[in-house]
C-alpha cells in the first residue's frame, strides 16, 4: 500500500515536471506575428513582436524563423529579459534593404543589447552591402554604414552556424561583452570591399571564435582595446587583411589587450597573417601575453608583422612614436609562403620597445628561398628551427 502511494506520488511529480517543462519550451514563430517569407514584405515589426514575447517570458523560449526570405530594416533586440535562455533559430535568410540609406545611418542592422543567455543558430544574414561599398569608393555623399550583427553589453552568448554575407561595414561586432562563443560561422564579402572586417572584438572578455571561415575586404578578425581572454581556433582566413590586434593606441587613455590565443589558423592570399598594429601616437595602452600557434601561410604579403608606426596620411602623430607597450608575444609553429621578401617584420616603438618576443619553429619562404626578417626596437628570443633567421 505504502509503495503504491509512493509510486503514485512519484508518477504525479513526473507528470507535473513534464508538463511544466513542455510548457516552458515556448516557441515564438515569427510567422505568427506577421512575418512574410517573401523577401519583400517588411518583417521588422513581426521579429520585434516575437522578441518581446520571448524576452518577457519567465522561462526558456525559442524564436523560430522558418525557411524563406525575410526583409528587415534595423532591428534592435534589447534586454534585460525575464529569462536567460533564449534561442533564436533561423532556418531562413534575413535580407537588408538594397537601398543602403535605409539602414546606413544606424550603427548596426541587427543588434542584441543588454542580454544574458541568448543563442542564435543558423541563418543567412545578407547585408546587401555592395551598393554602399560602391558609394564609398566613388567618393559620393554616403551614410556612415551599418555593422550587420552587433552584440553589446551582453553576456553568455552563442552564435553558431550563421552565414553573414556582404555587410556594409564590419560583419560581427562584439563590444562590452563577457563569455561569447562564435562557432561554425561563415563570413563572406568581396576581397575589395572597404572596412568589411569579419569579426571585431573590443572591451570584452572570454570571447571564443571557433571553426569559422572568413573572407572579406578587411581584417578576418580585428581585436580592439580592452579585449582580454580571447581565444581564436580553427579559422580559415582569406581574402582579407588577416588577424589583427589593433589598431590600438589611437587614444591617450586606452584599456590594454591581454591573454590572446590564436591557434590553428590558415591564411590564403591575405595582406597580413598575424599582425599587431598600433598608432604612432602617445597612449597608455598595452598588449601582453599573446600566443600565435600553428599557422599556415599561403602567399601572404606580411605573414608576421608588428607595426607600431600606423599613421594614415601622416596626420596627428607627433614624433611618430607609439606609447603602446607590447610584451610577451609568442610565435610557435608558423610556416608557409610569403608573397613579399620580408616575411617577419617587427617595427616596434622607439619610445616603448617590444619585449619578450619569442619565436619557435618558424619557416617562411619567398619564391622558394628563405624569406627575410627585419627588426626595429624588438627584443626577444628564438629557438628551434627559424627561417628567416631571427633578427631579435
Ligand X SMILES: *[C@@H]1O[C@H](CO)[C@@H](O)[C@H](O)[C@H]1NC(C)=O
CB of 258 to ligand X, least distance (A): 8
Do the bridges between strand 61-65 and strand 26-29 make them parallel or antiparallel, or are there none, so unpaired? parallel
Site string for ligand X, 226-255 (x = CB under 6 A): ---xxx------------------------
Written as one string, the DSSP assignment of 312-366 is: GGG-S-GGG----EEEEEEEEEEEEEESSSEEEEEE--SSS-EEEEEEEEEEEEE
Closest listed residue to residue 97, CA positions, set 41, 142, 137, 50: 41
Q: Is 293 one of the binding residues for ligand X (CB under 6 A)? A: no
Beta-carbon contacts of residue 281 (< 8 Å; ≥ 6 apart): 249, 250, 252, 311, 316, 317, 318, 322, 323
128, 171, 200, 241: which is the annotated catalytic residue?
241
Taking contact as CB under 6 A, which single stretch among the options 80-88, 177-185, 225-233, 376-384 is the one that binds ligand X?
A: 225-233
Complex with ligand X: residue 160 or 229, whichever CB lies closer = 229
Complex with ligand X: residue 264 or 309, whichever CB lies closer = 264
Distance CA 285, CA 278 (A): 9
Do the bridges between strand 354-366 and strand 369-370 make them parallel or antiparallel, or are there none, so unpaired? antiparallel
Number of residues that bind ligand X (CB under 6 A): 5
Complex with ligand X: residue 121 or 261, whichever CB lies closer = 261
Query: Which single residue is written with the C-alpha cell 572596412?
Result: 195
CB of 3 to ligand X, least distance (A): 50
Taking contact as CB under 6 A, which single stretch among the options 129-137, 223-231, 341-349, 378-386 is the one that binds ligand X?
A: 223-231
Distance CA 348, CA 355 (A): 9
Complex with ligand X: residue 54 or 182, whichever CB lies closer = 182
Complex with ligand X: residue 29 or 211, whichever CB lies closer = 211
DSSP 376: E
CB of 206 to ligand X, least distance (A): 6
Site string for ligand X, 252-271 (x = CB under 6 A): -------x-x----------
Q: Which three cell numbers stand for residue 34?
A: 506577421
Q: Is 48 one of the binding residues for ligand X (CB under 6 A)? A: no
241 counts as catalytic: yes
Distance CA 232, CA 212 (A): 9
> Which residues of the shown chain bind ligand X in the complex (CB under 6 A)?
229-231, 259, 261
- Active-site annotation, residues: 241
Amino acid at each position: 500500500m505504502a509503495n503504491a502511494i509512493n509510486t503514485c506520488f512519484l508518477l504525479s511529480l513526473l507528470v507535473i515536471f513534464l508538463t511544466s517543462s513542455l510548457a516552458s519550451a515556448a516557441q515564438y514563430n515569427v510567422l505568427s506575428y506577421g512575418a512574410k517569407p517573401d523577401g519583400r514584405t517588411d518583417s521588422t515589426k513581426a521579429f520585434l513582436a516575437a522578441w518581446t514575447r520571448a524576452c518577457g517570458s519567465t522561462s526558456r523560449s525559442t524564436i523560430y524563423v522558418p525557411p524563406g526570405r525575410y526583409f528587415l530594416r534595423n532591428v534592435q533586440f534589447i534586454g534585460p529579459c525575464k529569462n536567460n535562455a533564449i534561442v533564436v533559430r533561423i532556418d531562413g535568410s534575413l535580407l537588408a534593404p538594397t537601398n543602403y540609406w535605409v539602414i546606413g545611418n544606424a550603427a548596426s542592422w541587427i543588434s542584441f543589447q543588454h542580454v544574458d543567455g541568448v543563442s542564435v543558430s543558423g541563418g543567412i544574414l545578407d547585408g546587401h552591402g555592395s551598393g554602399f561599398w560602391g558609394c564609398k569608393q566613388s567618393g559620393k555623399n554616403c551614410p556612415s554604414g551599418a555593422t550587420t550583427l552587433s552584440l553589446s553589453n551582453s553576456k553568455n552568448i552563442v552564435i553558431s552556424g550563421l552565414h553573414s554575407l556582404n555587410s556594409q561595414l564590419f560583419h560581427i561586432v562584439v563590444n562590452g561583452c563577457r563569455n561569447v562563443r562564435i562557432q561554425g560561422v561563415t563570413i563572406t564579402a568581396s576581397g575589395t570591399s572597404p572596412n568589411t572586417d569579419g569579426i571585431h572584438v573590443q572591451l570584452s572578455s572570454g570571447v571564443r571564435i571557433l571553426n569559422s571561415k572568413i573572407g572579406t575586404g578587411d581584417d578576418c578578425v580585428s581585436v580592439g582595446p580592452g579585449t582580454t581572454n580571447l581565444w581564436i581556433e580553427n579559422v580559415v582566413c582569406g581574402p582579407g587583411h588577416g588577424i589583427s590586434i589593433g589598431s590600438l593606441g589611437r587614444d591617450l587613455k586606452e584599456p590594454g589587450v591581454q591573454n590572446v590565443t590564436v591557434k590553428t589558423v590558415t591564411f590564403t592570399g591575405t595582406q597580413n597573417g598575424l599582425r599587431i598594429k598600433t598608432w604612432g601616437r602617445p597612449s597608455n595602452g598595452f598588449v601582453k601575453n599573446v600566443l600565435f600557434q600553428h599557422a599556415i601561410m599561403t602567399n601572404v604579403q606580411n605573414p608576421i608583422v608588428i607595426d607600431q608606426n600606423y599613421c594614415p596620411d601622416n596626420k596627428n602623430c607627433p614624433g611618430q612614436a607609439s606609447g603602446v607597450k607590447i610584451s610577451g608575444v609568442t610565435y610557435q609553429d608558423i610556416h608557409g609562403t610569403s608573397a613579399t621578401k620580408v616575411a617577419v617584420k617587427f617595427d616596434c616603438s622607439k619610445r616603448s620597445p617590444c619585449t619578450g618576443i619569442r619565436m619557435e619553429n618558424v619557416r617562411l619562404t619567398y619564391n622558394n628561398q628563405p624569406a627575410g626578417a627585419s627588426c626595429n626596437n624588438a627584443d626577444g628570443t628564438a629557438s628551434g628551427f627559424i627561417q628567416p633567421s631571427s633578427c631579435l
